Structures are given as structure tokens and as C-alpha cells.
Structure 1
């Protein structure tokens, strides 16, 4: 077995690899040299410098695994690797402690005004009264996103005798109690917390999650910390909130534009800023090297690694059969998690037609779970870890198969059950993902772009009232589909619109006569 280490990693990872394989360390290898030599290797380890492109992967005759000694895999063509049956792994847990500790550092810095006090003393000043701070003890910590990093922050804050409330729609009550935290909605966290720390991914749903309205909800002596992703906090709104003393202070490690050149926030004294270094420690780099080295060893010794970012390896024939449905399954999962009211507790999946004859539908189920979980979790969900994460989140999954596909080659039906809602969606692949049923209403919908779903009473004028309300708010409708059970009964409307519908517009639609519910989706 032969492994190439194409970027600099900690020596301990290399030492571990050398116990089981021949290791070539070439941290200056050029793209042309990698392209010409990749066929010699069973595994490759990279960080950020080396790009593992589709062309490189297509030349990789023996390659079994691509390992990224870090969190992201932007420099790896994961799709090309998947198509060729090559595993892609990373080391997401390597930075959990590091980022949590940096969060604590920022929290203490802003609470005790450490950075501006340091600057003052270095300028030969002695302004003790200017730097009156606050204790963490007996304060309320608000956590937005309770994944690996969020839970580590909570653990450390408990040592400071802080209380914790958490906003995480997919954290079961039982798990929250075990962690010693109180679950709450986002508004409650914003209103009650003294320190708010963000640990969610940047998605369409979380972009500007904290903006003017949210900042006005916060206590005027509260603090907000972001070590997750730039763009989750609306920086213009944050600036106004800090200048107008609507909140006590902020601490940022990430920014909407990096580096934050000419950013007005940098002119303020009540903010602490660092240059996206939350994950940058010697220990994190060491741990990343050890983790990916061990993942490579697992594969070379014919075992399954735990941090695989792409689908499990399947035989080429099966992969070609299921390939068109993988995108459909991910879309169905994302569709249902954005449409259902409440937290999904149960999931019923039915495979019909040709898909029912495939020996194992596991990869399809995992892809559905990936679509359900990725929009609301900070840590990446993939087809390897999706089932484990779903179980940890208290989601019960039931699969079924039937040969009857209602005239289609194959169908996939997903039903979600929450504490207060049942929502189902059914689709097929007709050269592109297509939804044919929503809550058992026949439709013909392409799940893509900005979408809108409304449940309403099928009475004259109901559709027009909804359309008029959207028109009043300059929301242009591109495609409309409706379905109903019987004339005058309950009905459903699905729209594709030209822009994301703001939540206040959705609330206005929900208040219309004969409208039961309305939700916006981003697919």
C-alpha cells in the first residue's frame, strides 16, 4: 500500500501511517506532477493547498480514499470521487475543542473589556474606571445550534456557573435534559440570554438569522459571539445595534466578507474581533493529522472509516440504477423538513417499482435523512452518519417496499410525523426530480428554487386572495400547482416564485380567511 501526503500535516499522523504503508511526503507537488503520479497511490492526504480535481481522480487507478486534514473539502471533487467509488473523509471533530475554547476566550474578552484595556495600557494610560466588566457567573448562556461545538461551549460555561438555554429544533427534549440545558425557541433565547453564541451552518435559512428585529429583542446589556460562519449575523444591523447601545457588545471571528477591510464594525470599542482563527491551534492541527491518518489506515485494512463525506461504496451496476434518485431523495428530505410543522419524530419511507427490487435501499434512506438534517445542523451530515444522527435526534425511521408504482418506473414516498403535524411528499425521476403528490394531493412540481406551499379551504376566491396578497408585496409567481380532495374541501397550493418570501409576508398569508397554513421553502 502506498500513501501520498501532499500537504504539510503533523508528524504524528505520518508516523502512524508508516506503520502500515509506504508513505511519500511531497508537500511541494505541483498539479501536473500529481496528475502524472496519482495512479501509484492507494490514498492521498491533503489540507487546503492541493486540489484533488476530477481529472486527478479519473487518473487514480488504485485510489481508495481521499483524506482532508481539516473540516471542509472545497478542494476535493467529492462528486467525481463518489462516482468512482473513492471515499472522501475529513476530520470534523479535530476543531470542536479549539473552536469552543476560542468562543470562551471571546466571551471573556468582551465581558471584561480585555482587548481595549490591553490597548490602553500599551498606550501608557491607566483608565481603570473605563473598563468595568461583568461576571459570567449566574448569567444565562444562549446557544444557537447544539452540535459538537455548541455542547462543548455549554460544558465550559457550566464551570463558570452559567445557566444555558438552547435553540435547536432537532435536539430531543430527553437529550437536552441529559446535557443540562433548557430548550427554547429562538425568540426566547434572544430575549432571555445574557451571552448568545452561534454554532449553526450558513444556509439560505440561517443567512442574517440575527438582524435588526432579533437584535432589538436582545437585552441592552447582552453580548453576542459568532465563531461559526460570516453572514449569519447581519453586520449592518449589528453595527447599528452596537452604536445605539441596543446590546452591550459583540465578538466575531468570522465575517460576511473576509478579510473585513473597511468594515465599520472595526471602528467600535464594544466589539472584539479575530481573523477567523477559532480552529487554529497546534493541538487541532495535530489531532486532524492523527484522525485522517487513522481513517486512511481503516480503509487500507479493509474496515469502514467514520467520517466519510460521500456515499458508501456500492457496486457500479447498482450505483447506475440509483444515481438518478439520489438527488430526488435529497430534495424530498429537504422539502419535508421545511414544510412540516414541529420537530420530526417519525419518518415513514416507501419505495415502489424498480427501486423496491434493489437488494438494499439503505443509501437512498440515508440520502433522504441527509436532506432532512443538513438544513438545520451545523455539523455536515452525509450518507454515512445520517442514520446515526437521526437516531441521536430521536427520529424513528420505518422503510417499506411495494411493486406497485402507479404506472411510474419508481416512486419514493416520505411521510414525516411530528408532535402536531403529518406531512407527506411523493416523487419520481423523469429526467429530473419531480414531486407527484403532496399530502396525497396529485401535483406536478419541480422541487427547485424559491417555493411556497399553502393549505386552504377550497372556496371561490381563496386562490385569488393568496395571489393578491403576494402581489401586494411584489412577490412574482412563476409556476402554480393546486390539488384538492373534493370540491369545497381542503386543498393545497404550490408556487414557484422569483424570490425568497419574507417571514412577515408568510405571516400575513396565514392570517387570511380560509388559509390554514403557509410555508416558504428554499430548494
Structure 2
């Protein structure tokens, strides 16, 4: 009988799921030393956040088939080490969706009706009715930033309060928005129109400081700002200044730039409600998380594929070895695309060529989608759900193959259509290095690493000099440059590797320069 270690305390309902199908060792106080010494005895392990599945532990787990995280975050698990050792990693992202959405609604109500400060007043022996005049949610506008699993649940609940809903999510389709009864708007429009604004996006370089002084200044005087997503999306220093200067502006936070929250001036204000990162903490969520991961462990032990795999789907060893060099390529191509395309992706077409044809390329496609979608969604996109998530976002996915790979062993070519534009990028693996070999069918050849810029311009005398001058003025050094063109005097593409990041200010100046059409900054 397979052996399962429950290394952290989970709800008993999860343990019950496994009874009869595995020998269960329930040791929620196991030490790191004990874990390292005994991990080779187990076929599966269930953890929460306490137990650390480090590379050393995983490499000693000779019989381990699955690591199950009874929750969402997997910061305590070395995913790369698990993948390298053929161990599946699963979690339970759906377990907290309703719980977090309800917490956001609770903050919304607490702030709109001043419940927290009214409670403190009554407990202090006061009766200050006139001080706590509230605001109805009915007929107010809710602005939702991020329409993933949690954002959608907030929308459903706000409809019961008869609120109007506008959303900002560059990757939601019009059909999906229509089905939910929401209006898609720009971020700036959402900020200026919303009576209540709630954030449900991941913390990425693009979303860090998304709501800062400039955005706060545009909010309505009576507006409510909520964050149950990740700390750092709101600039807390700017938020404090705004709340202090505008007492009718309100905020509800469950997450912070630094946790636990200590010595924060936000705690001195009456127009803010603060909770200690508990949005996902309910008995029901913990129960559901335990049940979900226990079922997935049971599936793996029975030779089935679970639903929330975070690393990759199972393929035969021969196929895996053939595809292995191209995982890094699809990862890098996905990262480029998410940084260079904009909203409303409608189609994503992938063509594989050369020696990787004629066999399952599912892992590569899913790896690409994972890298492409993860930075813009709150819920994890993994190797199993990548295609269904793309479909939910209204992205039409097509996959094809051709024997013609030119002078290369194999290539991967991706075409993305968005708004009224499209972009094509093609890459390969050469001498164990991943390279981009063409952009929009212009030939380039450059290793995919570090800071890069993709510049479209008119191939006229002096244009490259203009580009170099602007970069030089901003002290940006060009480490390597490749240029692709089809004809003299026509459109050309330049791909450069730089030592310093090409900032928005630099992009703006370059794009305002004559004969330079577009500039994209990429960080790999």
C-alpha cells in the first residue's frame, strides 16, 4: 500500500479521503531534519506553508510521486527541483475563491457603513449616531481590477447589492464580460468612475505600485479602495497621505508591502479598515483545500492525472527528453509576448517544425500559455488548466506543424492577434542556447536573455543613429544588436540587448522620433 505523509495540520476531512487507499502518517510537527531523513519512505506528501520542500529534500525523495499543497501559494516548494525529479506538484486554488470574495465584500460593507469605527465608539461608551452617516451600495459603481476566479465571485455578490460593475482586465473577452453583466473600461476610466474599487491581480513588476499618488488623486472623494490580493500593488505611503488629506476617501486592506504590519501610520486613521492577511482564512476554505488535495493525491496513486498540476503534464520519457531543450524556449517566447502585446488577445497560433513534430507537443503549448497568462491572472495557470483558462479568456488557440525548419533542427513560431494588430515571433534552440530568429518575419538572431528592446523603424539613413543617440542620452549601453529588413527604405526591425532597462520615458522619446514606429522593452 502506498505511503502518504501529512506533514502539516490539515482538516480531518482530507485525511478521511485517503483512508483505505494509502497508509497515512500524520506528523504535523515533523522537523526539517526528520523530513530529510525519512522522505524517501513516502509516495506522497501533503503540506501547508510550514513544511519546506527544498531541493535537498526533493532530491532525497526517491519514491515521491506528488507534493500536495493544501492551499494556494507554493513558495515553500522548489517547483524546478520537483519537475527535474519527475514529481507532480498540486495545490487547491479554487478553495479560497469564495472566501476571499466574501472578505472583500465584508470590507466593502464595513467601510460603506463605518462599522469598524462605530463598533469602537460604542465599546468606548459613546453614542455618536450622527458621526457615522453611511453610504448605500445600491446603484453605486463597483470597479474590479482583475477578472479572474476571485474577481468574478466579487462581481456575482455585488450584483445582489444592485451595484453597477465596470472592470479593467486586458485579457477578458467581450463575450465573457457580457455573460457576467459587466462593462470593460480602461484603468483610468475605472479609477475615475468607481465608487468602490477592488483589486484582484497578482503582484508583478507591471502591477507593483499600480495604485499610487497619481491614481489616488483621480478617485472620487467618497470612494472606497480594497485590496485582498497582494501587498505592494498599492503604494502605502501615497495611500496614507491621500487618506489623511481626504477623510471621506476610504480603504480596506488585508495585504501589505511588509508583513506583519508594524509601525504603519495607516493604523492611526479612522477611514481605513485593516485585517491581518486573513481573507483566505475560513474553516470552509481550509476544509475544501484539504479535500481537494487529498483527492488529487489519491488520483496520482491510482495512476490518474490530477487537475491542479503546477509543473507539467505527464508524458513518456522519450518524448520528454526530445522536448526538454524547448521548454526554456517556449518559456522565453511567452515572456516576450506578454510584455509586447496589449489587451484583447483574440488568437494565438503556434507552428512547430523540424524534429519536434510527429509527437505530443502538449507540454510545450501549455508551458507557453502558462508563461503568457500567469503574469496577468490572480489564480495560478498551470500545465493542466492552461488551455481551459485561455478558452475562458476568449483566446482562440490553434496548433500546427511543418517539416520545414529551414537551417535549424526545430523551430517554434507564434502568431498573436490582438485588437487590430498582430505579432509573430519565431525561436529555436542552437548549441543549447535559446534564440529568437525572426520577428514579424524579419530575420534576426539573438540569444534570449537579460534586458532587450524590440524597435520597428523605417530603414533610412540616420535612423539607427537617432536610436543610438536617444539611448546614449539616457546612458543606456547597447551590448548587442541585430537588424532585420526586407528592402532598403522600408520597414525594419531592430532587436537590441542592453545593459540598462529601457524605461517608459525612453520609449516615449524614441516613439516621438521621426521614422521610429514602435518600441517594446523586454526583461527576461
For the superposition of Structure 1 and Structure 2, which TM-score range results when normalised by the shorter chain? over 0.9
Where 1:356 maps in the other structure, the secondary structure is coil
Deviation at 1:513, TM superposition (A): 2.0
Task: Show the counterpart of 2:228.
Answer: 227
- 2:212 alignment partner in structure 1: 211
Q: Residue deviations 1:369-417, cap 9 Å, x none? A: 1121112111111111111111111222222222332222221111112
After superposition, the Cα gap between the structure-2 partners of 1:423 and 1:131, relative to the gap in structure 1 and judged at 3 Å, is: same
Aligned residues: CA RMSD:
1.9
- Paired residue secondary structure (1:76): coil
- Check 1:500–1:166 CA distance in 2 against 1; reply closer, same or farther (3 A cut): farther
CA contact (8 A) 2:484 2:492 kept: yes
SS of 2:357's equivalent in the other structure is: helix
Deviation (angstroms), 1:499: 4.5
In 2, Cα distance between the equivalents of 1:380 and 1:312?
15
Aligned to 1:128: 129
- In 2, Cα distance between equivalents of 1:89 and 1:437: 36
**Mean CA deviation greater in 390-399 or 493-502:** 493-502
Aligned equivalent of 1:187: 188
How much has 1:128 moved relative to structure 2? 2.3
CA distance in 2, matches of 1:107, 1:474: 47
In the TM superposition, what is the alpha-carbon distance from 1:312 to its structure 2 partner?
Answer: 0.9
Alignment of 1:148 with 2:149, yes or no, is yes
Query: Does residue 490 of structure 1 match 2:495?
Result: no
1:332/1:238 Cα in 2 relative to 1: closer, same or farther (>3 Å)? Answer: same
**Does residue 1:388 correspond to 2:388, yes or no?**
yes
Cα pair 2:412 2:428 within 8 Å, conserved: yes
Query: What is the CA-CA distance between 1:475 and the residue it aligns to?
Result: 4.5
Structure 1 residue aligned with 2:366: 366
Is the 2:477–2:498 contact (alpha carbons within 8 Å) kept by the matching residues of 1?
yes
Aligned to 1:50: 51
Output the CA distance in 1 between the equivalents of 2:194 and 2:509: 29
Partners of 2:140 and 2:469 lie apart in 1 by 47
Partner of 2:15: 14
Q: Superposition pairs for residues 324-343 of structure 1, below 5 Å?
A: 324-343=325-344
Q: What do residues 139-192 of structure 1 show as CA deviations (whole Å, max 9, x unaligned)?
A: 000000001100111111111110101111111110111111111111111111
The worse-fitting range, judged by mean Cα deviation, of 163-172 and 299-308 is 299-308
Partner of 2:87: 86
Residue 323 of structure 2: SS of its match in structure 1?
Answer: helix
Whether contact under 8 Å (1:39, 1:60) holds in the other structure is yes
CA distance in 2, matches of 1:33, 1:475: 51
Q: TM-score, normalised by structure 1?
A: 0.95
SS at match of 1:32: helix
Q: What is the TM-score normalised by the length of structure 2?
A: 0.95
Q: Which runs of 5+ in 1 are unaligned?
A: none
* Runs of at least 5 residues in structure 2 that lack an aligned partner in the other structure: none
TM-aligned CA deviation for residue 333 of structure 1: 1.4
Q: Shift of residue 36 of structure 1?
A: 2.7
How far off is 1:201 after superposition?
0.4
Residue 166 of structure 2 corresponds to residue 165 of structure 1: yes
Distance 1:127 1:478, change over 3 A: farther
Residue 50 of structure 1 and its aligned partner are, at CA, apart by 1.4
Which whole-Å CA distance do the structure 2 matches of 1:128 and 1:508 have between them?
A: 56
Matched position secondary structure for 2:460: coil
Provide the secondary structure at the position in 2 that maps to 1:150. Answer: helix
After superposition, the Cα gap between the structure-2 partners of 1:177 and 1:137, relative to the gap in structure 1 and judged at 3 Å, is same
- Compared CA separation, residues 265 and 81, structure 1 to 2 (3 A): same
